[in-house]
């Protein structure tokens, strides 16, 4: 009968390197770098009238109605503006980061030669996956997986890996 320590090492080996029919994190992470999930975020704020780059036409009336917002020449002092930016800090990327950190902790706890080699392979894959650096920490795992976690093959593979690890 295999010891709990050796079965944990075998499970983590499969997680990092993969098994037949399912790639491991060492393969998935670099592939995700090229096609990871991100969203366009809109952020509203007041800015100096001269510095506004993307004022919303329908919000110009709002800017004009604000008391004390028009100077003596009739120009707006401050303008309501919408900034748009792409963020990689989405639930799915936080989930991937959570799984990678969970695997890293388990490998570190084993502290034998094979675990250290698996940790190096995982760290090499993490180095390539720069989008994970901007993903925040996962505060809770949702009761149901998101559509991205279920439909995207790479995210689904990470979700299945997480399921094979058990709770942590």
What one-character-per-residue DSSP string does 27-61 give? HHHHHHHHH---EEEEEEEEEETTT-SSB-GGGHH
Q: What is the pLDDT of residue 64?
A: 72
Least trusted range by pLDDT, from 39-43, 61-65, 84-88? 61-65
Q: What is the pLDDT of residue 102?
A: 95
Tell me what the mean pLDDT of segment 98-116 comes to: 93
Tell me what the mean pLDDT of segment 68-93 comes to: 81
Least trusted range by pLDDT, from 44-48, 77-81, 137-141? 44-48
Q: What is the pLDDT of residue 11?
A: 92
């Amino acid at each position: 009968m295999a010891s709990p320590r050796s079965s944990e090492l075998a499970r983590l080996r499969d997680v990092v390197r993969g098994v037949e029919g399912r790639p491991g994190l060492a393969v998935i992470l670099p592939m995700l770098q090229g096609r990871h999930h991100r969203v366009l975020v809109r952020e509203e704020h007041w800015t100096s009238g001269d510095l506004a780059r993307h004022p919303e036409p329908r919000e110009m009336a709002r800017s004009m109605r604000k008391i004390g917002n028009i100077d003596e020449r009739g120009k707006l002092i401050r303008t309501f503006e919408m900034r748009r930016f792409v963020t990689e800090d989405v639930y799915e990327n936080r989930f991937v980061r959570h799984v990678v950190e969970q695997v890293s902790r388990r490998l570190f706890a084993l502290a034998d030669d094979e675990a250290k080699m698996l940790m190096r392979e995982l760290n090499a894959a993490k180095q390539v996956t720069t989008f994970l650096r901007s993903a925040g920490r996962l505060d809770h795992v949702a009761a149901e997986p998101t559509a991205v976690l279920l439909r995207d093959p790479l995210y689904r593979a990470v979700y299945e890996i997480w399921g094979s690890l058990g709770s942590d």
